[in-house]
Each structure stands twice: as structure tokens, then as C-alpha cells.
Structure 1
Amino acid sequence: MTESQSLYAKIGGREAVEAVVSDFYDRVFADPLLEPYFDGIDREALYSHQVQFISAVAGGPVSYDGADMQQAHEGMGITEDAFDRVALYLTEALEENGVAEDDIETIIEQVAGLESDIVGQ
């Protein structure tokens, strides 16, 4: 078992990831700054892709099959403020669901590495 696979297991596997993603989107969809980015978006598909993405980042037995980050966010005009807010909500959802601080840092570092593919596309 690799370190990243153990991270997925350590945080509670698919059930825990689904709880985190649910809490995360509750926060995101309630935020007036972020709400316009999700107009007309299939929320079920978005939820499913986010579960895959977080699972893959944590080394779970799931492959992310969504579009690459740059392509998925093309034309959305996502600002640094919006990106930072999303990262904050992900952090809060991870914390609320009992994920350890060092594991949160590992996940957020992976997400932060995608900023240039998401912001301003």
C-alpha cells in the first residue's frame, strides 16, 4: 500500500470523501461570490467528479475521468479570490469531517498546484 493509498484509507475511504464533498458543496453553493460559476451546471455530475477528484488526490482506488482542470474551467473567468474561497471551503469541510491537519495540508497542496490551470481560464 502506498502512502497516498493509506491517506485515502486513513481519512475514511469513499464514505468520508462523499461526506466531505457534500459539506464542501453546501458551503460553495451558499456563497454569493461562487454561486454564478455554477449556473446551469449539472450538480450531480459535478458532485460525482469532485468525489473522484478528491479520491484520486488522496490516492484512492478511483481514477478521475473528468476533463483536465484547464479544459474543465475554460471560459469561466475564475478569479484568485474565488479559487481561494473554494480552497477555504474544502479545508473547512475536511476539518469538519475529522480529517487530520497534516492530511488536509497534503490534499490542499495538491489542489493549490492546480491554481494556474483554473484561475483566469
Structure 2
Amino acid sequence: MLRSTKSTLYEKMGGDETIRAAVHDFCNRMLLDDRVNHHFIGINVDSLRKNMTTFFMSWALNGKPFDQFSLRKAHAGLNITSEEYNIAVKHMVESLRTCNVDLEDIARVEAYLRFIKPHIIHK
């Protein structure tokens, strides 16, 4: 079996194009889901997509966790529940599948999303 010569998750996932497509698809799924779309009322979705794309590209390129303070600040006041966060993770996984990201790489993204969960959900 040949091993990939791509070194970063960013490269393995397909770079800018794939990450942008996955984030776009994810945002669409969240906006259409009545269980979570109330969090997007009054939100500039284009700005959200840009910020999320930057977040994922940065993490996928260097593998370093995002600043937990920034995550808390960005999600302050949204009162996201654990259940809603899990819905979001499932939508991201489906978006990555739609973009033909390898299962191993999807698992890495999902693990990271579970890792940062405590910094996003309302306690």
C-alpha cells in the first residue's frame, strides 16, 4: 500500500478548495436545521464562512489547537448546548464526506472538534 506524500492535513484534505467547499456545505446544513439555525439569526453568514474557513485552514496547516480564549469569546452568549454541538459535528462530518475527504482525515477533524467542545458549549 502506498503512503501519501502529503504532509499536512490541509494538503491531505485537498487544500483551500476542499476546505472552503466543506465549510460552505456545513453552513448550509446548519442554516437548514431547525434544531440549530436559531443561532444564526442576525449573523452575517458570509463573514461566518470566512472566519470558519480561516480557522480550519490554520488548524489543518499547522495542527496547533486554536486559542481557547478566542473560541470562548467567539461563541459567548450563544448558549450552545452539548446536543447542539453534537449536531454541528455531525453536519461537519457529512460535509467532509460530501467533499470526498478520506475517512481517516474526517476522523482527525471530528476528534479535534470534540477536543475544543468544552471551549464552545454553554455550561
TM-score bracket for the superposition, by shorter chain length:
0.7 to 0.9
Aligned-residue Cα RMSD (Å) equals 2.1
Supply the distance in 2 between the matched residues of 1:5 and 1:116 (Cα, whole angstroms).
29
> Is residue 48 from structure 1 mapped to residue 59 from structure 2 by the alignment?
no
Partner of 1:109: 111
Shift in alpha-carbon separation, 1:40–1:4, aligned structure 2, 3 A: farther
Aligned equivalent of 1:93: 95
State which of 10, 13, 32 in structure 2 corresponds to 1:30.
32
Aligned residue pairs total 115
Where in structure 1 do 4 or more consecutive aligned residues deviate above 4 Å? none
Instruction: Indicate the SS of the match to 1:98.
Output: coil
After TM superposition, the score normalised by the length of structure 1 is 0.87
Looking at structure 1, the residues matched to 7 and 52 of structure 2 have their Cα atoms a distance apart, in angstroms, of 18
Query: More displaced, 67-76 or 111-120?
Result: 67-76
How many Å separate the matches in 1 of 2:8 and 2:85? 27
Q: CA–CA distance in 2 between the matches of 1:74 and 1:28?
A: 18
2:60 equivalent in structure 1: 58
The TM-score, its normalising length taken from structure 2, stands at 0.85
User: Please, which runs of 5 or more residues in structure 2 have no aligned partner?
Assistant: none
Q: Call closer, same or farther: CA 1:56–1:5 in 2, change over 3 Å.
A: farther
State the secondary structure of the residue aligned to 1:113.
helix
Whether the 8 Å contact between 1:5 and 1:58 is mirrored in structure 2 is no
Q: Structure 1 regions of 5+ residues with no counterpart?
A: none
Offset at residue 81 of structure 1 (A): 0.9
Q: CA deviation at 1:40?
A: 0.5
Aligned residue in 1 for 2:15: 13
Q: For residue 69 of structure 1, what is the aligned residue in structure 2?
A: 71
Q: What's the % identity of the aligned pairs?
A: 25
